[in-house]
Structure 1
Amino acid sequence: MLDAIETYLALRRTTGFAMSTAEYLLKSFAAFAAERGQTYVETKTAIDWAALGPSVAQRDARLRAVCRFVRHVRVEDVGHELPPANHFGARKKRRTPHIYTTDEISRLVEAALRLRPTRGLRPHTQATLIALLSSTGLRISEALKLTIADVTRDGLLIRETKFRKTRLVPLHDTAVAGLQRYLARRRPGSDDDPVFIDKRGRPLRYIAVKETFDRLVDKAGIRSTSARRPRLHDLRHTFAVRALQGSPTGRGRCGAHMAALATYMGHVNIYATYWYLEATPDLLRDVAMAGEAFMSEGRLA
């Protein structure tokens, strides 16, 4: 079974998936099955192994890892049994994002510019980072990995992203101007130097950005409508929602806009982009009205 697992992992990695978690899980399952003298996947064994997970979500993830492997290997060897992927009945729950208003983003940037030392680089670093995230929808990890060489005439070159893909993110003229002002103040050295640095000139760390951002949210007087506080990652959600709100009219054009947004944001699966509809009441209302019209009159609204 291990040879089949290695072949499966190698194939998936050639398509851009890291597969580190899958490798750990599948090799753990193979060892578990070997203890029972099994060289093929059997449903009961897969469920028994998955049930060792400490939570329903983890048990579900373990079993689904085996199911994905079996779907691949059964193309050549039907001796493997395919377990029911939803055996544990787990459902992924996404946290409701805070959608920032234009005024709230402006207040965050203004609060960042008041950080100390007022004549140092730190206020401009934090303000530029917030402005860039809100205007591009980048993941914070992508922004912090940017080097001077990644800032090109055509936009930002985002290398080896979450799904090991590289993409080019175009910038609005105002974003270009703001980034260039920051770089002039920052006085970059070589092309390999990071764009965003701390006071010692080292790459800015996520934990430092998060802690500062949480304080800025309080200073800007931003309150969430839910029990959880607004997050740094919600700037990405906000960008996607505003992009969908400004999409062209017409179902066909809106569908094309959705596909373009998925590519722009670096989503490996368009279903991740469709989720942003749920975070936008007016867009979700439009989807509901279209569904109601189709069910009652047999037409799309």
Structure 2
Amino acid sequence: MLNAIETYLALRRATGFAMSNAEYLLKSFAAFSAEHGQMHVQTQTAIDWAALGPTVEQREARLRAVCRFVRHVQIEDASHVLPPASHFGARKRRRTPHIYSTEEIDRLIEVALRLRPKGGLRPLTHATLIGLLSATGLRISEALKLTVADVTGDGLLIRETKFRKTRLVPLHDTAAAGLAGYLARRQPRAHDDPVFADERGRALRYIAVKGTFDRLVNKADVRSRTGRRPRLHDLRHNSGWRIIPNGGREAKERGRSLVVGSA
């Protein structure tokens, strides 16, 4: 079974999937099957192994990992049995994102610009980051990984995305000008320097950005109808607006319009 698993993992990785968690799960399942003297996937064995997960959600994820593998390997070896993927009955529910209004984003940027130290780079960094996320649809991890070299004349080069691919996010002229203005103030020393950095020039850490953003949400009095705190990740669902240098805002144009940050 291990040879079939390695072949499956190699094929999936060749199409852009990391498969690190799948590798761990499938090799664990293969060892469990070997302990039971089985060389092929059997329904009850798969269920028993998946049931070792501490929560219903994890049991479901374990079983689904086996099911995906079986669907692939059955093409060449019908001895593998496909277990029922929904055996544990878990249903993944995505949290409804908070869609920030134009006024809420404006308030977030305004309070970010009042961060301490006054006159330092930190306020402008967080204001620009908020604007970038709300206008481009970037994931926070993608924005924090941006280097100076990734800001090109054709847009932002997003490397090693969630699905291990690289894509180019074009920037509106005002976005490009605003980001250039921010970098001029930032004064990076090398092309591999992070775009968004702390006072020591190190790339901003997610936990620090999230903590600051949560405080800004409170100060800006941004509230969700569900009663939950609006999240940093929710900003990517607001893509389509662009902030222009004079502080005004222009409506969505054809395609995706992008941010300028605070220039």
How far is 1:220 from its partner?
A: 0.8
Q: SS where residue 17 of structure 2 aligns?
A: coil
Residue in 2 aligned with 1:206? 206
Paired with 1:192 and 1:246, the residues of 2 have a C-alpha distance of 32
The one-character-per-residue Cα deviations of 1:28-59 (angstroms, maximum 9, x if unpaired) are 11111101100011011001111111111111
Paired with 1:118 and 1:98, the residues of 2 have a C-alpha distance of 30
Work out which structure has the larger RCO, using CA pairs closer than 8 Å and 6 or more positions apart in sequence.
2
How far is 1:247 from its partner?
A: 9.3
TM-score computed with the length of structure 1 as normaliser: 0.79
Paired with 1:94 and 1:5, the residues of 2 have a C-alpha distance of 30
How far is 1:211 from its partner?
A: 0.5
Which amino acid in the other structure matches residue 94 of structure 2?
Answer: R
TM-score computed with the length of structure 2 as normaliser: 0.91
Residue in 2 aligned with 1:111? 111
Q: SS where residue 27 of structure 1 aligns?
A: helix
Paired with 2:240 and 2:184, the residues of 1 have a C-alpha distance of 29
Query: Tell me, which stretches of 5 or more residues in structure 1 are unaligned?
Result: 249-256, 261-301
Matched-pair contact (CA < 8 Å) for 2:135–2:241: no
Matched-pair contact (CA < 8 Å) for 1:139–1:236: yes
Matched-pair contact (CA < 8 Å) for 2:240–2:252: no
Residue in 1 aligned with 2:20? 20
Query: Which structure dedicates a bigger proportion of its chain to helix?
Result: 1
Cα 1:51–1:145, aligned 2, differ >3 Å: closer, same or farther? Answer: same
Matched-pair contact (CA < 8 Å) for 1:64–1:85: yes
The one-character-per-residue Cα deviations of 1:209-248 (angstroms, maximum 9, x if unpaired) are 0011011111111111112101100101222799xx9698
Paired with 1:218 and 1:190, the residues of 2 have a C-alpha distance of 36
Does 1:80 pair with 2:80?
yes
Number of paired residues? 248
Residue in 1 aligned with 2:7? 7
CA RMSD for the aligned pairs?
1.9
Moved more, 202-211 or 168-177: 168-177
Matched-pair contact (CA < 8 Å) for 1:109–1:127: yes
Does 1:160 pair with 2:160?
yes
Please list, as runs of the form range in 1=range in 2, the aligned pairs for 1:129-278 lying within 5 A after superposition: 129-239=129-239
Paired with 1:64 and 1:247, the residues of 2 have a C-alpha distance of 41
Paired with 2:108 and 2:180, the residues of 1 have a C-alpha distance of 20
